[in-house]
Amino acid sequence: MSVWIRLRRWVLGRGLWADAERNSRAADRLDAALKEVFRR
């Protein structure tokens, strides 16, 4: 789980998902997308 947090922090650090962090639903969608990508 720490991998997702680290990855999301890295992405957010780049300012690409600054709005998504404020919108919990968008952040959840980002987490789900990342998990789906790395599941393959």
The pLDDT, as a whole number, for residue 3 is 83
Q: For the whole model, what pTM was predicted?
A: 0.38
Is residue 12 a contact partner of residue 18, using CB atoms and an 8 Å limit? Answer: yes
The pLDDT, as a whole number, for residue 11 is 73
Is residue 34 a contact partner of residue 8, using CB atoms and an 8 Å limit? Answer: yes
Q: How many domains does the chain have?
A: 1
The residue segments making up the domain with residue 23 are 2-39
Which residues have CB under 8 Å from 12's CB, separation 6+? 18, 20, 21
The pLDDT, as a whole number, for residue 16 is 60
Measured CA to CA, the distance from residue 9 to residue 39 in angstroms comes to 20
- Across the chain, which has 40 residues, the per-10-residue mean pLDDT values are 78 63 71 85
Is residue 27 a contact partner of residue 8, using CB atoms and an 8 Å limit? Answer: yes
